[in-house]
Each structure stands twice: as structure tokens, then as C-alpha cells.
């Protein structure tokens, strides 16, 4: 066991090229953009994940994408949490949220899974709901698709530009949580609506 004294930032998604640009892989997309902007690569394969250890605001941070598939994400997260002896509040989970419209992000300090199988798996393996989340809105189906088909499909063509801004804002939300804490991040991020073209970021 190693004491990290930092943050584990978990982006949720499914491994494999066919899932790369799907709505359910929004968490992976945030981590991948963040790692590129920091000039780091998720090359480590420990803990059934892609991950890297870096520093942000003089704090140690692990950027982490489980490779266990969504409904077993908690298995991967738990092995890393145990290895670094992390507390619940040192874990930040980024995931898609069907109950938020495209263009919205919500930072929360804790709560239930809201039907999200990846979050449910993490709650089950940690035995706790007391970890912060960055929820990224993906909206609901327009064309009668099943929820399963919808989350495993790419965004509609008119949403893609908005989602580019959303992913950048989700990175900013993570940085705010690390630098200032959950509540300041909530105050700055939760009021944003990036579907409004007048929003600046």
C-alpha cells in the first residue's frame, strides 16, 4: 500500500475502438482530452485500466480509465483505491448522465447511481456513495431508440460541436475540484449551459 495524498480521477467508458465516440464513453473522452492538454499519456496498464500519475496544482493526480467494461468499473477502481489508500473524497468520477441535457455539466459531492451501471459498480465495490462526480449531460433519445442503443451510439450531428465545448468544460470542472474543492466547482460549473451559443469558455 502506498499513500498517494492526491486524487484519483476516473473517467467511465467501455474499452475498444467501436465504443470510442459513443455517448457512454464521455468519461474516457474527458480524461483523454485532459491528458493530451497536460502532455501525458495513459500508458500504465495496472489495475485493469489505462492510467498515468501526474501533478496538477502541485497535487498528485492519477488520470484513470477502467478497462473492465462499464458494468465492472468498480472492480478496477477498487484495486487502485486500495493500493493508494485513498479516501472517498479523493476519488472523482466523470460519467455521462442521460437525465441532463446536452450542454449541461453537474458537479456533485455524492449521491446514488441514477441508473448508471458504471457508477453503480463503483458504489458496490467501494461500499460508499460519498465520492464526487462530474456528470456530463447526454440528453435522451429523439428517435425512439432504446436507452441501451442510444448510449452506445455517437452523438447526433448537431450535438457534436456543443460536446467539444462540454468536454473542455468538464476538464475545467475537474481542475476546479482538485484546486478549490467540490463546492466552488459546483458554483462555477453547474450554472453553465453550453448549448447556448453565447456561452464563452
Q: Which residues, in sequence order, are CB contacts of 141 under 8 Å at separation 6+?
A: 147, 150
Q: Which of 24, 95, 116, 125 is catalytic?
A: 24
DSSP 3-71: ---EEEEEEP---SGGGTTBGGGHHHHHHHHHHHHHT----B-GGGEEEEEEEETTEEEEEEEESS-GG
Decide: helix, strand or coil at residue 101.
coil
CA pair distance 105, 77, nearest whole angstrom? 23
| Alpha carbon distance, N-terminus to C-terminus of the chain | 40
**DSSP character for 139?**
-
CA pair distance 35, 201, nearest whole angstrom? 19
DSSP H or E run through 108: strand 105-108
Is 24 a residue of the active site?
yes
Count the alpha carbons within 13 Å of 181 in the hemisphere toward its beta carbon: 2
Residue positions annotated with a catalytic role? 24
Amino acid at each position: 500500500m502506498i499513500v498517494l495524498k492526491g486524487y484519483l480521477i476516473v473517467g467511465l467508458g467501455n474499452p475498444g475502438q467501436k465504443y470510442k465516440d459513443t455517448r457512454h464513453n464521455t468519461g474516457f473522452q474527458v480524461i483523454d482530452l485532459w491528458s493530451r492538454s497536460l502532455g501525458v499519456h495513459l500508458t500504465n496498464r495496472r489495475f485493469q485500466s489505462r492510467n498515468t500519475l501526474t501533478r496538477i496544482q502541485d497535487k498528485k493526480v492519477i488520470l484513470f480509465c477502467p478497462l473492465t467494461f462499464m458494468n465492472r468499473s468498480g472492480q478496477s477502481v477498487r484495486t487502485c483505491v486500495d493500493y493508494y489508500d485513498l479516501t472517498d473524497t479523493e476519488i472523482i468520477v466523470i460519467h455521462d448522465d442521460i437525465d441532463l441535457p446536452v450542454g449541461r455539466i453537474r458537479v456533485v459531492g455524492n449521491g446514488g447511481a441514477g441508473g448508471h451501471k458504471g457508477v453503480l459498480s463503483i458504489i458496490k465495490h467501494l461500499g460508499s456513495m460519498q465520492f464526487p462526480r462530474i456528470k456530463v449531460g447526454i440528453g435522451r433519445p429523439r428517435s425512439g431508440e432504446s436507452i441501451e442503443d442510444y448510449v452506445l451510439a455517437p452523438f447526433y450531428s448537431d450535438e457534436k460541436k456543443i460536446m467539444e465545448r462540454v468536454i473542455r468544460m468538464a476538464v475545467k470542472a475537474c481542475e476546479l475540484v482538485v484546486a478549490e474543492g467540490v463546492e466552488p466547482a459546483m458554483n462555477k460549473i453547474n450554472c453553465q449551459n453550453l448549448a447556448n451559443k453565447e456561452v464563452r469558455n
